[in-house]
Each structure stands twice: as structure tokens, then as C-alpha cells.
Amino acid sequence: MGFIIASLFSLFSISLILTKLISLASLFIILLPCITAVHSLPPYTPPDIILLNCGESSLTTSPDGRNWVSDARSKFGASTSQNSSFAFKASRQDTSVTQVPYMTARIFLSKFTYSFPVSLGSKFVRLYFYPVAYSNLDISKSFFSVEANDYTLLSNFSAFLTVSAMQPPAAAIVKEFVVTIQEKQMLNVTFNPSLKSFAFINGIEIISMPEGLYIHGNDSPLVNVGIDYPFYLDNKTALETVYRLNVGGRDIDSSGDTGMYRKWVQDSNYIFGAAFGVTSISKVKINYTKITPAWVAPELVYSTMRSMGSQRKVNIKYNLTWIFPVDTGFNYLVRLHFCETRLEVTGALQLVFSIFINNQTAVAQADVIYWSGGRGVPVYKDHVIWIPAAGPGKQDLWLALHPSDEFELADATLNGLEIFKLNKSKGSLAGPNSEPILVQTPPVRQPKLLERTKSKHPHPNSTTNLTSPDEGEMILIYDYLINGTLGEHLHETNNDPLPWKKRLHICIGAARGLHYLHSEFTHTIIHRDVKTTNILLDENWIAKVSDFGLSKAAFKQEVSTTIVKGTWGYLDPEYARYQILTEKSDVYSFGVVLFEVLCALKPLDRNLVEEHMNLAIWAEKCIQNGNIYQIIDPYLKGKIAPRCFKKFVEIAFSCVHSKGIERPNMRDVMEELEFALKLQDDAEAENMGISPDGEIVHPYVSFFPAQCVDIADGPQLDSTSSTDSDTSSSTTGVFGSRIG
């Protein structure tokens, strides 16, 4: 009996234990989603979050799940006039914009102020604009200013023009600013229409940020690129976000940020040239620190990167480069995010690279592991760069990374990038309105452009012909060119050197092809990538201009402003600086081709000393010093008639003039090259039979720029030689007077 009781007691105890275990397991299962949810919370919770849906009459929810309050009879509206603003619905909804906050707007016919009671510290101020028709108002005529406390955020601003100029194209825009609220201050945002105009706003977002996120005060001086003294960024400075990139990764929407609803976009639209490098994403855990807390940037930013790749010999010959159009006359804060996550990088002094901002050294030796302390540890570096006022429109801010060849790995990396405009001394962040890109034409290879730019007749110096097998359909037919590219014959050692006259014929053919593009279509076609590797040679050595992937139509009475594309070394510096594209950009590139043909040197060679890296600059200096003959292809020495040589150098020199308006057009270039060929033929006819072996040896020639270069169309050259005392007389054209 006692045994039975003991057994029952044991069974009861086991049952009780199992019940408790099941209860604990059930509790764990119940708590698991809560634990996961807590772990997935963003690292920062803003004390101030204000979302104002302007023109809306009720509470609304945006696609990211956030609630936007109405500004109708809102506590934030401080304007006293009842008739100073009106609410309207947008006339249409573009597929790229969301219902909230873009489909309603508040229209202001006079000055209007929103007042937001917020805590002390720095705030994101985001203004949402969707420039479409509201009621019977012409949105293209909306110009206004926006102020936030003592700062002018926008002046005579046109959302319509701004959106029209955006690349890639967009229907709406968010202007993001950083404003610091001082003690006993409210945040007042004032809209003030320009004369006989109106202002509008679709949404206003106010978000707090952690102390010291961007503004560190006078205790943390910043590197002032190109200037000997540091830059101090204090809380009296307002910022405008210009670019925020997830380098090497995908777009990150506002819900993927660290609690401040910032948007990060991929960097591929801003990479210069064809050197894209390689991208990678790592599963290495990101270990944030006190110096780089978790709210600085999302893990996705530090987990992805763009690098140059593993080809050491290739990497040391080029830069990984991005370009960013910015307003001139402002300082810019450039924040670079780094995190080394690759297994092959194990310690400091293994991978070192240089950082250049606007062609100035920002960091001579960047070592991410040395900065951060280890793999998977993020770090950021801030720099300030001054962009001086220079001409109308925007100017490109360049960021370039170049690997050091002195360490184990020759590579350079970047994970993220933020660029902010800093206010001027009077508190203004306002820049001029962008010039709209009225015609956003596709490359030449696409049907619409081909149909709109039909040629009057086909041309033998183009690799393509147009045909229309079906109605409304255009096809490019490419010729097969058996002799390869001009570049191969100039730089490949397994090819015999091209004779001088053959080089002249090739240059004439290429010039004829470019002239055809510039003048024989309904609208001018700008090639945008003229270089020796895009000049192909058929079985008869006739030159064909090829590769129209970057080409663009230039329509009359329209200024074409565009993101700079082309090949470094051939790129027109005026186009690179001001983003204004004309056919004279092709002329500059062709001038580089002419020097390349003459010297058999590459347009950009980083293996040479700095003053010789850029062929066009080096050749110009040689011309100015009177020693251009010293850098020509050794194979050509003694083979070029002096007058032909003078004419050829004169043509190339005129093509690479720093000002596009001073360069000749391609018709002039073509005709002058034909004249240079005639000079060579005449000299050979005169000297026939002088040399026993039939080879004519011509004397050296030295050139100097003419003393008087105040010519309407460009510079002249004067020349002297040991046998040719005849010099060019003064003319009023691009080129010197013809001899013969």
C-alpha cells in the first residue's frame, strides 16, 4: 500500500513538473514576438515627431504607417488672416507619388507662418512639394521663399523648375534641412510668395535628431579641405541635405533608417565614367561604438560597399570617382561612411588609399581598420569643402578614391556618403532655381531620338545606318570594321606604326563623321564620347565614328544641362564644370584625339609624373614652351613636313581651348585637316628624289603661341624652323593663314 502511495506521489510530481515546463514554453512562445519586436526597434526615438498633411481636413496614414495630422484649423497655423491660404486637391496623381502627403496642398497668396512648439536641439525640417495643377492655378508660375526662424531655406523657389531639372526624372521633391532650436524658441516656418505669384506646400515633417549627429560644436574641428585652418560647425549653422547615398547597396526607404526617417539612395547614378568598381554585401555583424553609435547610419549602409576590385595592376591606374552637381558660393559638409567587412582585410596598414574632394587631397592615407579598430566596426569622417561662385548654374563636386601601391592590397572602399550645404553668413541656404531639362531625349541608339533626328542622307564615316522595316520602328545597322580601332594602332605594340599620311586620312574621316553628326541631322547630335577607341577602321582604313550610347540631341533654342558623362582625359573641362553640353564638347575631345595621333601617348596616364599625366595639358605647355616636337611619336620624327606639322598642331591647339566658344566647329576642323594633308603632299612632291632611298627627312619645327591672340574665334600659333622662314600672317579666323 505504501509503495502504491509513493508511486502515485511520484507520478503527481512528474505531472506537475511537466505542466510547469509546458507553461514556461507557452510563455516563451508568447513572449518571443515581443522580444523580437523590442530588438527590431530603431536605435533612436525622436522626442519630437510632427507630420502635417497640408490641405487635408482629417487624420491620414502614409504607406509607411505613420499618421499625418491635418493643418486645417491646426494649432500650428499662426497666420491671422483668414483669407491668406486655401486648400486644394491635386489635379492628378503620378504613379510615383503617394496619396499622403502629396494629393492635397495648402496654397498661400500672402505671407503665412506655421509655428511648431518643439524641444531644444537640432531638427530635421522636411518640406514636401508636388508641382502639379491645383484648381485653375498654373504651378509653373509659383515662386516663393521659405524661412525657418532666422534662416532662409528657399528664395524665389520654383518646385516646378526644380523637378523639371532632376536627374533621374521625378514628379515630386522633398527638401530636407537641419535647423537648431535655441532656448525659448519655437520653430516658425514661413512661406512668402514672390510678387504676383503664390506659394504652396503639400506636407511638413519635423523630426528631432540625437545631439551631435551632425553638429559637434567648437570642440570638434573639421578638416577644411584645401585650407590650412580647421572649420568649426556650431549650432548656429543650418544645413540642407543635398545627397545621402547607400554606396554599393540598394535604396533604403524612410522606415529602414535608424529612427529619423532619412532616405538613402543607391550611388550608381553619380559614378563618373565606366569605372564602377565592384559592390559587395557582407553578413558580418556591425559593431557600433560610442564614437559611431547605432543611430549614425543603418546597418544596411555599413554592410554594403563599393570597392575597386582585386585587380591590383588595374586599380592603381585609375580612381573610383563620383560627381555631384551642387550650388556654388557655399561650404559643403561631406560625410564619408566606412566599415571594413571583408575577410581578407585583417588589420591596419594592409589597405590604404587617398581621398580627394574637388581635386584636393582630403586624406593622404586612409586606413579604415586603423580608424575603426577592427573588422565590422563602422566609422565616419567629416570634411568641409568650399565651392566658390563661378558662373551660372551648378558646378560638380568631385569625390575620388585612389589606392596606394605601397601596401598589401591596392584597393579603395566606401560604404555611405552624405553631403550637406551650409548656410552663408547671413543665414541663407537658398540657391538659384535649376534650369529645366526641357528635352529628356534618350541616347541616339533609341528609336524616338532616331525618328526625331533623321539625317538628310547616310554618311560613309558613321558605323550606323537607319532602316525602318516596320512602321514606326527604327533599327541601327552596324558595319563590321576589320581593322579595329585607332586606339589599338596607336598604343598596341603588336601593330606596325601608322604612317603619317594614313593618320591624317583617318583624322579627316573622323572629323567628317563628327561634322555629319553636328550638321546633317534635323537636330544636332552631340557624341559625348569621342576617343580613339570609338574611331573604327574598315578594310580601306576609312575612319568610322562609333558607339553612340552617350549621344544626345541638342535642340535649337534649348540649353542642355545634364549629368556629366564621357571618358576622363577626353572630357571637355567646361562641360565637366558647368554641365552645359554643346557640340564644342566634341571638338575638345577631338582635339585630344589629334594630340594622341601626333604623340602616340594616352590621353590620361597615371604612371607618368603629375605634369605629364594629362596629354592635352602637357601638349599645351609644350606648345607654349616651344618644344612640342619633343613629345611627338618618335616614329614620326623627320616624316612630317614643317608646314603640315604647323597646321596640324594649330588645329589641335585650337580645339582644346578652355572656352568652348573659342573653339572651331567641326567643319573648320575638317577643312583645315584636308589643307594639312595638301601641305604634306606638296612637300613630298617638291622633295621627291632628294633622298637616295626615297625617304624624305623633314627638319624639326618649333611653335610658340602668337603674340596677339585677341581673335574672335580662337588662338593662333606662330612657327619657326631651321629651313622655313615663312611665317603666318595675322588673320581674323580660328586658324592662321594658309601657306602655299
> Cβ contacts of residue 534 below 8 Å, gap of 6+?
485, 527, 545, 546, 547
DSSP 358-398: TTEEEEEEE-HHHHHSSTT--EEEEEEEEE---SSS-EEEE
Give the three cell numbers for residue 564. 556629366
Q: Do 197 and 145 contact (CB within 8 A), yes or no?
A: no
Question: CA–CA separation, 679 vs 737, rounded Å?
Answer: 13
From the candidates 529, 586, 633, 718, give the one annotated as an active-site residue: 529
- Residue 529 falls in the annotated catalytic set: yes
Sign of CA dihedral 644, 650, 653, 656: negative
Say if CB 208 and CB 123 are below 8 A apart: yes
> What's the CA gap between 720 and 323, in Å, rounded?
43
Closest of 227, 268, 225, 232 to residue 357, by C-alpha: 225
**531: nearest Cα among 600, 615, 593:** 593
Residue 425: phi, psi to the nearest 5?
Answer: -60, -30
Element (H, E) at 51: strand 49-53
Beta-bridge partner residues of 178: 124, 239
Contact 129/102 with Cβ under 8 angstroms? no
User: Which cell goes with 332?
Assistant: 559643403
Residue 715 burial by CB count (10 A; 0-12/13-18/19+): exposed, middle or buried?
buried
Distance (Å, rounded) from C-alpha 341 to C-alpha 175?
Answer: 33
**DSSP 3-state of 448:** helix
Question: b/e map of 503-533 (b: 16 or more CB within 10 Å)?
Answer: bbbbbbbbbbbbbbbbebbebbbbbbbbbbb
CA 589 to CA 582: how far, in whole Å? 12
| Residues annotated as catalytic (active site), given as ranges | 529
